[in-house]
Amino acid sequence: MLSTRPLLIVALLSAPLLLAGCTTYTFPDGSQETLWGVPADDETLTREERDRQAPRYRVPGEMPE
């Protein structure tokens, strides 16, 4: 007979690892969508330049520029 306790512990410990790659986007109309991955940032910008930029929104299913 298999004990369900070790399976439950493994499931609970692995859940945060599975969600680590998720990003939730909130669009101007208030809708939200959770997608895999993190949007790429321009690495040539300084911190001050990045802080001054307006938020960028990604349309699900379309490739960003």
Q: In this model, does residue 61 exceed pLDDT 50? A: yes
DSSP E strand stretches across 2-65: 22-26, 32-36
Residue-wise pLDDT for 7-55, tens only, equals 888 878 877 766 666 677 777 888 887 777 666 666 788 889 888 988 8
**pLDDT value at residue 47:** 86
Q: In this model, does residue 6 exceed pLDDT 60? A: yes
Q: What are phi and psi of 59, to 5 degrees?
A: -85, 120
**pLDDT value at residue 1:** 47
